Structure 1
Amino acid sequence: MHTLILSISFSVAVSIFLKLARSGGIRVDQAIAVNYATAVALSLWLLRPPLDTLFQQPPAVWLILSLLGVLLPSVFLVMAAAVRRAGIVRSDTAQRLSLILPILAAFLVFHEALSGRKAIGIALALCALVCLLTRPRAASAAPAPVSAASDDGAQGTASRGWLVLLGVWAGYGCIDILFKQMARIGAGFTGSLLLSFALAGLLMGLWLLLRGTRWHARSLMSGILLGGLNFGNIYFYIRAHQSYPDNPTLVFAAMNIGVISIGTLVGAGLFRERLSALNMLGIGLALGAIVLLFPR
């Protein structure tokens, strides 16, 4: 059970890092680039993938790895924006609700049977997304007049809030589908995970170089911390599955419910995030959806 607790803690810690990064003067894109270099080093040290056959992957696997190389850093940037604009609670919940996409892929692509329990879970998940994506409006009896420009700016910010949360939901869902497809065609998980980190780090580094980035020492050093947290989440998640090889449902459900529950406590307690009744309803529906979407 300690592996699950550690994985949940690392996942929430990543969100806290992203929440604090801006106020700490950390440039998230540079931290993310170093994060993948750190993850590669930790993968080599702790997972010990078979290096002699590392590059002997089928063409389909290389296609998946290429997509992951683009999506992993991109979604990380979107997640950072979501944590800043929408808070830890809604960002983490949107990430966990992304499980609906691989579940739909299981029905539409992998031809898994749809039970009534899963159908109810999918409906609850969609309702939860609507509740979570609805921002509370500040009520005022006599609102101060605003200019057309400021009104347009406020509407633009709200629109971007919706977009980044939807980006988190869709991005993490697609990544999960790609990992499931990789496992389905028989790719070694440790080797493919190492290659995914390496490709993501390479593409992120090239993107920063092409932009003429001026390197920031604090951001680069903080990337080591971020990489440790990010890898710790994945590493202990794998260890949890190894600890419960005959009960993956326990790992899936406990991980998702644990992250949402602890994220709620951290967001409300540490950062004083204000949630509307509709947002709280969305969190409750999300927990119910996650329970229903996993088989007994």
Structure 2
Amino acid sequence: MIYLLLSIIASTLIFIIFKLFDKYNINTLQAIVVNYFTACLFGLLMYDKPIIVSEIVSSKWIYGAIGLGFLFIAIFNVMALTAQRNGLSVASVASKMSVIIPIIFGIYVYNEGVGAQKIIGIVLALVSVYLSSIKSKNIDNPTKGLWLPILLFFGSGVIDTSIKYIETTYLPGNSIPIFSATIFAIAFVIGSTILIVKAIRKPFRFPVKAIIGGVILGITNYFSIYYLLKALNHESLESSTLFTVNNVSIVMISTLLGLIFFKEKISKINWAGIILAIISIVIVTLA
């Protein structure tokens, strides 16, 4: 249970850090690149065996790690933009409601049972993302600004599905740190390449605050993944129960912190979406 609690805390802190980047004018992409370098270092430090590059390259999970590296850098940027432009509640709902996608994947790939309860939960989940994302200023044009939370929803879902599939199919329990470090290393290389191309086209500054912010984000990001994988490996916790507690807690805590510390305005429609999100997570994962 302690692993689950630590994963919830770390995941919630990520949304807050992104919000603080916007407040203190920290370049998000620069900080994210530093974040992945930091997270990679932590993964290597947490690995208690000799690091043999040839074994990593020849491992069964390497192609999954490469794909996740691309997704991590892309969706992390989308998450940051969603938190900054749409608010903490929208970002948390869009990313955490994506639990529906691995559930749908499980129905088709693992032939898991599907009934009226799951279908109702999935429909409610999709509606909740829409309702929680609508802002009062866009009420006359409700689709405006929805592309970020929708992209975050599907991207996070693909990441969660891929992590769970690789963890259950290819990943030995003692390989979690090196697997995580490899994903972060690939994301760092991709992000660095983007920054280099940008610098060639137009030189820019790389301020110290971006490095500090990236280091803080990297430590938090690493442990959000590490403790989630540790919790999934724990025999006393079923994945359905774990995802229920994890996702509902993050949505609720992020919403409350957005209200208290960032004075975010949440309309009645948004509240309806947040409540639907919590209900749908419980319905689907306990079906």
TM-score normalised by length of structure 1: 0.86
**CA distance in 2 between partners of 1:243 and 1:110 (Å):** 21
Structure 1 vs Structure 2 CA RMSD: 2.3
Structure 1 position 234, deviation (Å): 1.9
Q: Deviations over 1:49-87 (max 9, x none)?
A: 6633322224xx443222212110111111111011110
Q: 1:66, 1:199 within 8 Å by CA — same for their partners in 2? A: yes
Structure 1 position 250, deviation (Å): 2.9
Specify whether residues 260 and 50 from structure 1 end up closer, same or farther in structure 2 by C-alpha distance, changes over 3 A only.
farther
Q: 1:57, 1:187 within 8 Å by CA — same for their partners in 2? A: no
Matches within 5 A, 1:136-215: 136-137=136-137, 159=144, 161-188=145-172, 189-190=175-176, 191-212=178-199, 213-215=204-206
Matches within 5 A, 1:228-267: 228-267=219-258
List runs of 5+ in structure 2 lacking aligned partners. Answer: none
**CA distance in 2 between partners of 1:65 and 1:240 (Å):** 20
Specify whether residues 185 and 238 from structure 1 end up closer, same or farther in structure 2 by C-alpha distance, changes over 3 A only.
closer
What corresponds to 2:56 in structure 1? Answer: 54
- Report the more deviating stretch, 1-10 or 164-173: 1-10
When the two structures are aligned, how many residues end up with a matched partner? Answer: 278
Structure 1 position 185, deviation (Å): 3.7
Specify whether residues 6 and 62 from structure 1 end up closer, same or farther in structure 2 by C-alpha distance, changes over 3 A only.
closer
Specify whether residues 13 and 110 from structure 1 end up closer, same or farther in structure 2 by C-alpha distance, changes over 3 A only.
same
Q: 2:92, 2:251 within 8 Å by CA — same for their partners in 1? A: yes
- Report the more deviating stretch, 279-288 or 45-54: 45-54
What corresponds to 1:285 in structure 2? Answer: 276
Structure 1 position 184, deviation (Å): 4.7
Report the structure number with the largest CA radius of gyration. Answer: 1
What corresponds to 2:91 in structure 1? Answer: 91
- For 2:111, give the aligned amino acid: H
Q: 1:40, 1:194 within 8 Å by CA — same for their partners in 2? A: yes
Structure 1 position 205, deviation (Å): 0.8
**CA distance in 2 between partners of 1:12 and 1:50 (Å):** 33
- For 1:106, give the aligned amino acid: G
Q: 1:75, 1:168 within 8 Å by CA — same for their partners in 2? A: yes
- Report the more deviating stretch, 96-105 or 73-82: 96-105
Structure 1 position 261, deviation (Å): 1.0
Structure 1 position 47, deviation (Å): 4.2
- For 1:19, give the aligned amino acid: K
Specify whether residues 27 and 207 from structure 1 end up closer, same or farther in structure 2 by C-alpha distance, changes over 3 A only.
same
What corresponds to 2:217 in structure 1? Answer: 226
Q: 2:72, 2:187 within 8 Å by CA — same for their partners in 1? A: yes
- Report the more deviating stretch, 46-55 or 20-29: 46-55
What corresponds to 1:11 in structure 2? Answer: 11
Q: Secondary structure at the match of 1:273?
A: coil
**CA distance in 2 between partners of 1:163 and 1:49 (Å):** 43
TM-score normalised by length of structure 2: 0.88
Structure 1 position 243, deviation (Å): 4.8
**CA distance in 2 between partners of 1:86 and 1:209 (Å):** 29
Matches within 5 A, 1:39-118: 39-48=39-48, 51-52=51-52, 53-58=55-60, 61-118=61-118
